[in-house]
A and B are shown apart, each in its own frame.
Chain A
């Protein structure tokens, strides 16, 4: 047996050995929690709230987070008339709320796509849909098709709200003002719901990454280590 065969044997042993697991300790009963690959779990937890926990086999918490976070986010969307989640980085119209909303994961991602699309060459959101599209500002150029669609579908906008600038059209109002006038305080309530859902998902991501935040108290440890009298 030479040195080469020893190395091959060692490599074979390494392959057969189970891969190291990252575990956390449950603060409730001290049991080990298999976090699997924490980085993958964290990414999954951001993408879809609760999915990281489902990947780790923590089914109860996964379902709980999925229902609570996504439910709150969608409730906020509904309360805000579907207008409260959008991305806008224009000076004077920066939507800082979206930074928090983006924490809810892929469900907020269409807002980024719509923002890039309406600023891009096409000058209209994806498929001309108003879903998560940023509000038009004064002087903003949009495609003729999108302008016509807004004039036909949006009760606050008509054809006179656009200057004709072939081959485009130029908006001459502030769409976000229309939204505020129509929705009133529901715009703020919907924004708050979606923001809080995104912010709380950051805690969920951390829980998937590193396990529960709670630590057992000395009284808990003592109660668990003290043998209980038989009844």
Chain B
């Protein structure tokens, strides 16, 4: 699997770009979690509903921001 992927030129560049921005990604994850928690808690009152909505918001925020990050990395590579 790894040798196959390493033959594609995009993959190593993407991995390198991702690793280069690891502190940003790593320290950005708690902020996504915090935003999800606050969004959920300001929309609900019941603790169980807050927990469920936190996961829901985290998936949405993480997904959207992940897509944006991937797009930026790809555009940066093609530029």
- Please indicate the chain B residues that have their CB under 8 angstroms from the CB of A61 in the complex: 41, 45, 50
* A contact residues, range: 20 to 34
Residue in contact with A185 in the complex, picked from B23, B31, B41, CB distance below 8 Å: B23
Chain A residues in 8 Å Cβ range of B47: 60
Binding site secondary structure of chain A: helix
Given A212-B43, A213-B43, A193 and B38 touching (CB < 8 A)?
A: no
Minimal Cβ-Cβ distance residue in A for B47: A60
Do A206 and B42 contact each other (CB < 8 Å), given the known contacts A72-B31, A200-B34? yes
Any chain A CB within 8 A of the CB of B24?
yes
Inter-subunit contact B42/A203 (CB<8 Å):
yes
Q: How far is the CB of B28 from chain A (nearest CB, A)?
A: 8
**Binding-face segment, A25-33, A110-118, A121-129:** A25-33
Interface string of B37-49 (1 = CB under 8 A from A): 1110111111101
Counting CB contacts under 8 A, is B27 at the interface? yes
Is there an interface contact between B34 and A29, defined as CB atoms closer than 8 Å? no
Q: What number of residue pairs across chains A and B have CB atoms under 8 A from each other? A: 65
Q: How far is the CB of A32 from chain B (nearest CB, A)?
A: 11
Report yes or no: A33 in contact with B34, Cβ–Cβ below 8 A.
no
Bound Cα distance from A189 to B25, whole angstroms: 11
Contact A72 B34 (CB under 8 A): yes
Q: Which residues of B contact A192 (CB under 8 A)?
A: 31
Residues of B within 8 A of A200 (CB): 34-35, 38
Extra contacts besides A69-B34, A212-B42 (16): CB < 8 Å: A26-B46, A28-B44, A28-B45, A29-B45, A29-B46, A61-B45, A61-B50, A64-B41, A65-B38, A189-B27, A193-B27, A200-B35, A203-B38, A206-B42, A214-B43, A214-B44
25 A–B contacts from the bound complex (CB under 8 Å) = A26-B45, A28-B45, A31-B45, A60-B47, A61-B41, A61-B50, A64-B37, A65-B38, A68-B37, A69-B34, A69-B38, A75-B30, A185-B23, A185-B24, A189-B23, A189-B27, A193-B31, A196-B31, A197-B34, A203-B39, A203-B42, A204-B42, A212-B42, A213-B42, A214-B44
